[in-house]
Chains A and B, each alone.
Chain A
Amino acid sequence: MIYDQPKFLPGGDRYMLVEFGNEMNLELNFMGQSLAQAVADNDVKGVIETAPCFASTLIHYEPEDISFKDLQSEMASLIGTLGPSEDIELDSRLFYFPTVYCDPWTKEAVDDYRAKIAEKEPDPEFVARLNGLSDVDQFVRVHSGTEYWVASLGFWPGLPFMMALDPRCMLTAPKYNPPRTWTPQGTVGMGGASTCIYPVATPGGYQMFGRTPVPIWDTQKRFPQFENSICLFQPGDRVKFVPCELDVYELVEAQVADGSYQYNVVEYQKFSVRNYKAWVESLDTSARF
C-alpha cells in the first residue's frame, strides 16, 4: 500500500528514512525520486545528500544545522508540493543487454556457496519453482520478457535497482541467508521483486542466474556513455535483457576489451506514466509467457 502519511524513521544521529509505502510500484518510486529532486531544488538547509529507492528516500543530514523534528516538517511540506505522478513524462533511454542465462560463472558461484556456506536449491530452479513456473526455460522467457525500470542506483557504485514494467513478468524471490561473500562481475540477479546487475565482483544477497559482458561502471571512461558519469545508468532508464549463447558473450567481451563495443541503446523515447498505467490496465495480468 501507499501510506496516507509517509513515515519518518530515524537512522542514528544523522539519517532519516522517509518511507512512502510498503509495496513496489512505479508511483512509489516516483514519490521517492521526486522528494530527492525537491530537496535538491530547494537546497534544504542541513541536508547533505539523499538516496531514493523503490518506496522510500533516505536523507543524510547534519543535526548541527537542522533537528530531526524540523527536518521532518521540511520534508512533510515538500512532499505536499509534489504533483501527481500521472502527469509525469520523461526521457527514458532503453538499453539492450546481451545476457547468458544459466551461465557457468554464476553456477560456479552458487556451487561454491552451497559447498562452503549453506546448502540451497540452485538459484534458477529455485526462483522458477517459487513462482509456479514449469521449468527454467519458462523462467528465462518470463524474466527476459519485459523491460526493467531503473528505480535507483545503490548498494555498490552504479548498481541499478530495477523493477519489471510488465506485470505478467513480475517474479519474487527471497534474498540469500546468509549473504554471499562474492558474486561474479556482470551477474544478473534478483531478490524480492527487484532485478539488478552487479557492476563488479562484490558480496551479494540476490538469487543469481545470468551474466552480461557489458560494463555498467567504468572508472577509465573508455566508452562515450560514461562521459558524464562513471556509472552507466540513471533513474528512469530502462533495460531489456536479450538472452544469448556463450559465443555471443565472448564476442561482446572481446569487443569490450578492445574498445570497439557499441552500446545498444535507444534514446528517442519518452516514458509516459499515464500511457503506461492505461496499458497495464488493459492486460490480463494472470497470464505468463
Chain B
Amino acid sequence: MIEVIKEGLETSVQDWPGRLGYWNQGFPPSGPMDSWSFRLANVLVGNDPGAAGLECQYIGPTLKFQRAGMIAVTGADMQAKLDGEAIQMWQSVAVAAGQTLEMSFAKTGARAYIAVAGGIATEPWLGSRSTFHKAGVGGMEGHAIKPGQLVPVSVGEGVAGRKVRDDARPEFPSDKQWSIEVVRGPNDDWIDDAGHERFLGSDWKLSSKSDRTGFRLDGPDWSFAEKATDKAPEHGSEPSNIIDQGYPCGAINLAGQTPIILVNDGPSMGGFINPYTVPRSAFWKLGQSKPGEIYRFKAVSVEEAQALAHDLREICSEQSIST
C-alpha cells in the first residue's frame, strides 16, 4: 500500500492503452497523456509497459511507502525527493518501508509519472484501472487521489539503478514551442486552401480552458470550402457543423471557430468537423505542454504517422534501458 500524504494538483491512477472497446457507448480510453514517459517508467521497474501507475499533473504528490519496493519517476521534472534526498529521474530507485516520496511543481514539462514494481492494483472498471475523472469511474474511487487514501500495489520485484538511455527520453523544448505532427482528415475537405495554409502556418496557443477531455487552441479564424456552407440542413447551419459522427481520439475538432484537440478523456462522437487528427506518437507532446505554450502543426501522411507509432513502441521497451 502507498499512503497519500499530499495529493498534488491532480494525481490519478492510469494504465495504458486504457479503457478500449467502449467507444460505441461513449467511454473514452483515458490513460496517461504522455505514454512514452509512462511506459518507460514501468519498464524501469520490471513491469509490463502498460501496468497501472500514477500520472501527476503540474504539481506532484507526497506519498509514503508502507513496504519496501522499487519505483521510477519519469516525464516532467517535479523535483522528486525520497526522505528529503533528491532522486534521479528516468532510473529505478529502491524504497524502504516507511520512506516518503515528495514531489513539487514541474520545472520542465507538465506531467510526471510514477511507476511501482508490481503495478498499482486498484479494482479495474470495464477492463481498465484508468481514472476517468469527469464520469467518476476507474482509479481510486473514480477520481484523483486524496490525502489519507491507501493505494494498493501488487507484489513485484525490480532491480535498482536501471536507467533510460539519454537518447531514448522525450526532449521538452526549452523555448515552449512545440512542433506537433498532424494527419489530414477525416473532414479536411470542409476547409479551403487558405484555411489549411493558415492552420499549418500559424502559431496556436494552448488555452487555459483545457483539460483531459480537450485542449482548446487560440489562433486565427478558419475559412471553409463550399461543402461547409452548401449542405443539407440536418448538418446544422454553421460551417463547422456536420451530421453527428464518430470522433477519432486526437481529432482536431472545430467547434464554431475554436479548435479543440480531443484527448484521452474526450467525447467519442459529435456534430463538429475534424479537419486534422493528431496521431498517437505526438500525444506525449500534448501531455507535456502547459497552457500558454505554442503549437506549430506539421502535416504527415498516414503511413508516416504509423511509422512514428511503431518507432515509439520500440523505444518504450527494454532496448532503451542501460544498467
Contacts and interface: CB of A to CB of B under 8 A. Distances in A.
Interface in B247-306: 247-251, 255-258, 267-272, 274, 277-281, 302-303, 305-306
Nearest to B214: A203
B238 A24 contact: no
Overall SS of chain B's interface: mixed
Contact of A63 (B242, B267, B268, B306): B306
Nearest to B235: A192
Contacts of B278: 12
Contact of A155 (B270, B280, B306): B270
A52 B25 CA distance: 10
B250 A161 contact: no
A17 B271 contact: no
Nearest to A176: B256
Interface core residue of A57, A158, A191 (most chain B CB under 10 Å): A191
A191 to B, nearest CB: 5
B1 interface: no
Contact of B243 (A54, A174, A179, A203): A54
B24 A205 contact: no
Contacts of B246: 17, 50-53, 56-58, 154
Chain A contact patch, size range? 35 or more
Given A9-B187, A157-B135, A192-B244, A60 B277 contact: no
Interface in B154-195: 183-187
Interface stretch (B31-39, B75-83, B226-234): B226-234
Contact of A194 (B187, B237, B250, B271): B271
Interface in B17-42: 20-27
B134 interface: yes
B21 A48 contact: yes
Interface in A193-231: 193-194, 200, 202-203, 205-206, 219, 229, 231
3 closest A-B pairs by beta carbon, nearest first, are A58-B246, A177-B256, A154-B269
15 contacts: A11-B248, A12-B279, A12-B305, A58-B245, A130-B237, A154-B25, A155-B267, A161-B269, A191-B236, A191-B244, A192-B241, A192-B271, A203-B213, A219-B137, A229-B25
Interface of B: 20-27, 134-137, 183-187, 209, 213, 231-238, 240-251, 255-258, 267-272, 274, 277-281, 302-303, 305-306, 308-310, 313
